Amino acid sequence: MTTIVEGRHLTREFPMPAGPVVALRDVSIEINPGAYVAVTGPSGCGKSTLLHLLGCVDAPTDGSLLFEGRDVARLTDSERSRIRLTRIGFVFQRFFLMPMLSAWENVELPQAEIGIRPADRRARTRELLEYVDLIDRGHHRPSQLSGGEMQRVAIARALANRPALLLADEPTGELDEDTGEQVADLFDRVHADGTAIVVVTHNPVLATRAERRLMMKRGTVVHS
């Protein structure tokens, strides 16, 4: 079983006028296929920074990151984009759906980008919207959906290209308790279907669903 992503001694500093801020300090982490990891901790402890490094949208100042055995630091920007497109799914706190596209088109978008044939795209989009129970809202734009519905569309979009790893940054942060629980249920199903999940959250309900919890403080993992 190949490790999906492996970070060793990850450190991430942000240069600031008053001096560099260390957001992540010497963190090592390994995500295997089918894992379900929750990262918790107070605001500013480095959870999102860790998630961004694992998702190849940011680069560590120090340490190394291997994605499916490939050293991310040696990859070009377009190679990293390709990994994100085909192997990683992102779910954001604020959904970040394309406002000018319908729910259906938002789910189709990543599939079109890797050149999946229209007929296959339609079948996969239908499957995903049924999966998140929004098939009857496919033609609605994000502005016509509730927060929970938008997040479910975002999860469907993240799963569109059958990623090995789903990364979620505070996916219930904008949702009420009941809706957050629906999203947590959905993550359980995604995990049960074999997709590895790393979720950054303040939501204890969501965190308890994970198989493994990482507690972070001041840029380091203090409890696993």
Per CB under 8 A, 42 contacts another protein: no
Stretch that binds another protein, among 3-11, 78-86, 182-190, 194-202 (CB under 8 A): 78-86
Residues in the chain: 224
* Closer by beta carbon to another protein, 117 or else 223: 117
Q: Is residue 84 within 8 Å of 166, Cβ to Cβ?
A: no
Query: DSSP character for 171?
Result: T
Handedness of CA 98, 100, 106, 110 (dihedral sign): negative
Stretch that binds another protein, among 64-72, 83-91, 179-187, 209-217 (CB under 8 A): 83-91
* Closer by beta carbon to another protein, 173 or else 188: 173
Binding marks (x or -) toward another protein, 162..181, rule CB under 8 A? -------xx-----------
Per CB under 8 A, 112 contacts another protein: yes
**Given 75, 101, 135, 215, the residue binding another protein (CB under 8 A):** 101
Residues in region 113-172 near another protein by CB under 8 A: 113, 157-158, 169-170
Per CB under 8 A, 96 contacts another protein: yes
Per CB under 8 A, 92 contacts another protein: yes
Q: Any residues with CB less than 8 A from the CB of 201 and at least 6 apart, and which?
A: 38, 39, 40, 168, 170, 171, 172, 173, 207
Q: Is residue 172 within 8 Å of 148, Cβ to Cβ?
A: no
Q: How far apart are CA 137 and CA 135, in angstroms?
A: 5
The amino acid occupying position 203 is N
Three-point CA angle 154, 183, 56, nearest 5°: 50
**What does the DSSP assignment read for 87-124?**
HEEEE-TT----TTS-HHHHHHHHHHHTT--HHHHHHH
Least Cβ distance, residue 17 to another protein (angstroms) = 15
Per CB under 8 A, 110 contacts another protein: yes
Per CB under 8 A, 13 contacts another protein: no
Per CB under 8 A, 83 contacts another protein: yes
Per CB under 8 A, 58 contacts another protein: yes
Site residues, another protein (CB under 8 A): 48-49, 52, 55, 57-58, 77-78, 81-86, 88, 90, 92-94, 96, 98-101, 105, 108-110, 112-113, 157-158, 169-170
